[in-house]
Amino acid sequence: MKIDLSFSQRIFLVFVCFAIAVIAFMIKLPSYFRSIDKEMHASFYFMAAAFLNVLFVKINFFKHVMVFIVLYLFGMAIEYGQAYSNKFFRSRIHGRFDPEDIHWNLKGLIAFSLLWLICTGVTLIYNKVKLKNDTYSSNA
């Protein structure tokens, strides 16, 4: 998939999404979402990893690992920020620090990484076989 955005446009898009995510994570969930809170954490981090990998990574393993680490640290920072916000605003705008949320964030990141590794591996194998076939065809 080719994305025709300049690097600065991608950075701006990530900044806007990052700001929206921070605001959304700081607001306490309505009660009807609390039963699926953990799954929402995993799905958000799965989709965030997919978004950033499509924008910046393609098939570069080092960049993929960097996105993984940045998102994991972002999840930890959000949890600490949620706990601190209750003290800062002197009212409860969010719940407490929840290590289980970080665990579910990690599950979403690992799930995406497994999918990314499989897709990247298949792509690399396909390209290698295609190159081999093209070389064989041109020599015949």
pLDDT in tens, the chain (140 residues): 566 889 999 999 999 999 998 888 877 777 888 788 889 999 999 999 999 999 999 889 999 999 999 999 999 998 888 878 777 766 666 667 788 999 999 999 999 999 999 999 999 999 998 887 777 666 65
Are 64 and 123 contacting, i.e. CB atoms less than 8 angstroms apart?
Answer: no
What are the sequence ranges of the domains in the chain? 36-134
- Measured from the Cβ of residue 16, the count of other Cβ atoms closer than 10 Å reads 10
- Measured from the Cβ of residue 25, the count of other Cβ atoms closer than 10 Å reads 20
Model confidence, pTM: 0.84
